[in-house]
């Protein structure tokens, strides 16, 4: 990708700006101005509205990359995944903050903005979205932010006092 095109697209890469056809409800990312599904009827003209993707989604498929592209060498091995957002569009991105061996299909993730790579000695740094595991009800015990383990500890400590 050229530098000029990169900067033109930087805004929506940062904010996951998409568009939705108000006729058939299809969501497009990157955003489109005409809906291909409705185009033959010309019904979609002027009917697409901006939509902000939440960045929430789940892993559809992934692969673990051991041979990095130039500029990505320091990050191997890393996980490259296709994530289906809850709004519909599928995004490709790196999955971070998790052991590559623990990534699985169906893993709930959310987009987060990170440094993508540095370019040459000039140190041009590209930023974009990556995906990080989402902490939720499906997560196992012991994750930060869950209250149950704390309550269990309090009960255990209370036992000896009463006895």
Neighbours of 140 (CB within 10 A): 6
- Contacting Zn ion within 67-86 (CB under 5 A): none
Residue 99 sits at φ, ψ, to 5 deg, of: -65, 125
42: left (phi over 0), alpha (psi -120 to 50) or beta: left
Q: Which stretch binds Zn ion (CB under 5 A): 16-24, 60-68, 74-82, 104-112?
A: 16-24
Q: Which stretch binds Zn ion (CB under 5 A): 15-23, 113-121, 125-133, 140-148?
A: 15-23
| Helix (H) or strand (E) segment spanning residue 19 | strand 17-21
Cβ atoms of residues 144 and 135 within 8 Å: yes
Residue 53 sits at φ, ψ, to 5 deg, of: -70, 140
The CB-of-43 to Zn ion minimum distance in angstroms stands at: 7
Q: Which is nearer to Zn ion, 15 or 37 (CB)?
A: 37
The CB-of-88 to Zn ion minimum distance in angstroms stands at: 12
The CB-of-56 to Zn ion minimum distance in angstroms stands at: 23
Per-residue contact string for residues 20-59; x = within reach of Zn ion by CB under 5 A: -x-xx----------x-xx-----x---------------
Neighbours of 38 (CB within 10 A): 18
User: What does the binding site for Zn ion look like in residue numbers (CB under 5 A)?
Assistant: 21, 23-24, 35, 37-38, 44
């Amino acid at each position: 990708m050229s530098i000029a095109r990169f900067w033109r697209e930087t805004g929506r890469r940062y904010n996951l700006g998409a568009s939705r056809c108000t006729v058939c409800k299809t969501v497009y990312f990157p955003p489109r101005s005409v809906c291909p599904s409705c185009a033959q009827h010309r019904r979609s003209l002027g009917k697409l509205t901006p939509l902000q993707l939440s960045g929430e989604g789940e892993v559809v498929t992934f692969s673990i990359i051991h041979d990095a592209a130039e500029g990505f060498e320091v990050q191997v091995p890393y996980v490259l995944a296709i994530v289906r957002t809850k709004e519909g569009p599928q995004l490709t991105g790196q999955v971070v903050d998790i052991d590559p061996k623990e990534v699985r299909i169906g893993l709930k993730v959310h987009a987060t903005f990170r440094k993508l790579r540095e370019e040459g000695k000039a140190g041009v740094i590209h930023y974009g979205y990556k995906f990080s595991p989402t902490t939720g009800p499906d997560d196992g015990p012991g994750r930060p932010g869950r209250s149950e383990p704390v309550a269990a500890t309090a009960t255990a400590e209370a036992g000896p006092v009463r006895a």
